[in-house]
Amino acid sequence: MVLATIALFLLMLAINEWLFKHAEFVPGINWIYLPAGIRLLSTLLFGGAGAIGLLIVSWLVSFFYFFPNDFMRAFVGGIVATIAPYGVYKLAQYAFGLHASLANLTPRRLLICIVGCSFASPLLHHLWFALHGDPQPLLDGFVVMFVGDLNGTLLVVYAVKTGLWFLPRTAGRR
């Protein structure tokens, strides 16, 4: 599950860089950010193992790709990128009584998780930027990151949902 999370995140990052590099606001903040969808899906599907995979891959891409010359930003950024989706997952478990099987994850609850994760990640990132004294425009960066995470998560979640629709139906799945 950890390795699956790492592989899927890296795949989505590569696809995002290939398709949406032109939609980058600043390094690490895009108008469409597909890896945000993997952040949510990996925590929903894999729980703690997904969070561990996210932490590892977030540190890898932060240290070696996005911010190779800024240790603190890469280190904290990896933690924040993991805490936000895992926190939303834990909150959904508490608020919705979310089962590990996700059997009670309704479309409405999933949408709440998508919006929650898309809000939590930029909020935590930009709180860190503000405390760290980052010179980038915080409000603009927050809005773009929220929109990008929301767009990316919706695209990934509904692509997965569409893909599942094409799988053969079982007696228990209608």
User: Whole-angstrom distance between the N-terminal and C-terminal Cα of the chain?
Assistant: 27
Query: What pTM does this model have?
Result: 0.89
pLDDT on residue 157: 93
Going by pLDDT thresholds of 50, 70 and 90, the confidence category of residue 121 is very high
Helices 35-46 and 138-165, interaxial angle, to 10°? 60
Asked if pLDDT for residue 91 goes beyond 60, the answer is yes
DSSP letters, 39-95, are HHHHHHHHTHHHHHHHHHHHHHHIIIII-TT-HHHHHHHHHHHHHHHHHHHHHHHHH
Closest CA to 143 of 27, 28, 30, 38: 30
Determine the Cα–Cα distance for residues 42 and 47; give it in Å rounded to an integer: 7
pLDDT on residue 172: 55
Asked if pLDDT for residue 173 goes beyond 80, the answer is no
Give the start-to-end residue ranges of the domains of the chain.
2-17+30-162
Average pLDDT for the chain: 91
Going by pLDDT thresholds of 50, 70 and 90, the confidence category of residue 3 is very high
Determine the Cα–Cα distance for residues 131 and 52; give it in Å rounded to an integer: 25
Asked if pLDDT for residue 51 goes beyond 80, the answer is yes
What CA–CA distances, in Å, run from 13 to 72, 96, 102, 119, 158? 22, 30, 26, 20, 17
